[in-house]
Amino acid sequence: MSSMARKAGLALTAAMLAFTGTVYGMTRPASAGVVAQLNGSQLIADMGAGWNLGNALEANSNGIPSETAWGNPVVTQALIDRVRASGFKTIRIPVSYLGNIGAGPNYTVNAAWLNRIQEVVDYAHRRGLYVLINMHGDGYKSVTGSWLICDAADQTTIKDRYQKVWQQVATRFQSYDDHLIFESMNENFDGQYGNPTEPCYSNINAYNQIFVDTVRRTGGTNASRWLLVPGWNTNIDHTVGNGFVLPTDQNRSSSIPANEQRIVISVHYYDPWDFAGQEDGTITQWGAGATNPAKKSVWGQEDFLDGQMKKMYDKFVTRGYPVFVGEYGSIDKTTYDSANNRYRADYARAVVATAKKYGAATAYWDNGWNGQHGLGLYDRSSLTVTQQGIIDAIMGAVGGSQPTTPPTTTPPTSTPPTSPGGTGACRVSSTVNAWNTGLTTSIAITNTGTTAINGWNLAFTLAAGQSIVSGWNASFSPASGRVTATNAGYNGTLAPGASASIGYQASHTGNAAAPTGFTLNGTSCS
């Protein structure tokens, strides 16, 4: 969102304010100097559904970053595991530096803070998720201690500090594989919502260029890493317009094919604002399913959404630059309209599906707040899901095979209640990404039969010495030997031709072979 007031304010009171298919297991570089294997379309497909760890590492108290300052608990591995279990494959982690940057000329980032950033990144990265980190609150005029201000007078000092901070961050993560993506900044603009001004926009373009040059020159995997850059305030119209200048990428690895990019364009989507973010009860419905015209905005419906995403496709995707909708969502207005969550799910489904149609990935903005005006999908203290309907809408839109509502535990009347239906034919494929003592395996299950499968168990055999550490989109038992993966609540129904993607991380003792002997509900799969 576009300011601390619009971001934290959705969650806190005023007093608290001061690819082509699923190729998730494709071999990736685990060491410096190895070029990533995914092109732009493969990257977007592989990123799947994204989620924001909002109001955490970008929170601050009087200009000093503090992840609990805006009311959320300390981030834990268990929270990230809960999010991944819902089917999210990408986590965006907004980060502020602010008062944790020392004085010039070195502008040294506080070591403890950099360590904590790395620790939270590792929660997601070691689970095989895509992770995005940025410089988030340092460019908001409303934040105490902000300094990345595009219309400030001393741009020489600002740019020097910006370069030094990114150099330190990039150096810290230079050996991480391409599941880690850097984002130059967040919603940078001069604070007014009219047309972009100069020289402010020129400075934003300059920041992006400094970012790309700095990261590339640190070497290692950074020489080929995907980098995310925004235009003016991550606004679609002002990014496809004349003001935005794509940074050059002359320092990237020479091993990257000349016709491939390694830069992603960042935008956010909260239109229409009166539905998505305005904190009153006037507009509570959205989309073609709205039943009360008085509660529906006069603009910003499906046709507008389609047009906005198409603009990004025409301007960037057609030229090889992927697009990432790094934030979207709509606040909880159920206190004004008990049906509001239905329209919030419709909105999320439409944003994700339309972005996917035009070659873009997405990340839902979750600020950790549940209840009135909140955007939370989870209770971060109890690690429980609070908005399963919205999650189901996202997963259905990005994957195409998950139902939009939780599947019933009782099979349809045409199916005997004692056994699942449609188990006559299946196809399973798997891909493995291995490193010294660990691996991740992604498995795609397809129902090639003529009837639906309602609840499934996929059995397979692990190679000797392998032991599952964690899994996603299914439960796995036991950890080694002959393993059975059981569907999650949202992907248990497979219509004829439909697929489900699951995966796991495992340790190994030298044998990183793929699993074998797949059977689905007792039937051997090809």
Catalytic residues: 187, 327
Neighbours of 199 (CB within 10 A): 12
Q: How many CA atoms lie within 13 A of 397 on its CB side?
A: 27
Taking residue 153's Cβ as centre, other Cβ atoms within 10 Å add up to: 8
Question: Alpha-carbon distance 502 to 442, whole Å?
Answer: 6
- Return d(Cα 111, Cα 114) in angstroms, integer: 5
Residue type, 430: S
Closest CA to 27 of 322, 435, 506: 435
C-alpha 393/C-alpha 406 separation (Å) is: 10
User: Measured between alpha carbons, how far is 159 from 141 in angstroms, rounded to an integer?
Assistant: 17
Between CA 363 and CA 270 the distance in angstroms is: 12
Nearest-10 Cα torsion for 135, 136, 138, 140: 150
The Cα 465–Cα 101 span in angstroms is: 45
Distance CA 86, CA 83 (A): 5
b/e sequence 131-143, b meaning 16+ C-beta within 10 Å:
bbbbbbbbbbeeb
Residue 152 CA, distance from chain mean position: 31
Choose among 437, 441, 460, 459: nearest CA to 511.
437
Of the candidates 84, 46, 29, the residue with the CA atom closest to the CA atom of residue 469:
84
How remote is the C-alpha of 288 from its chain's centroid? Answer: 27
Residue with tokens 């969102």: 1
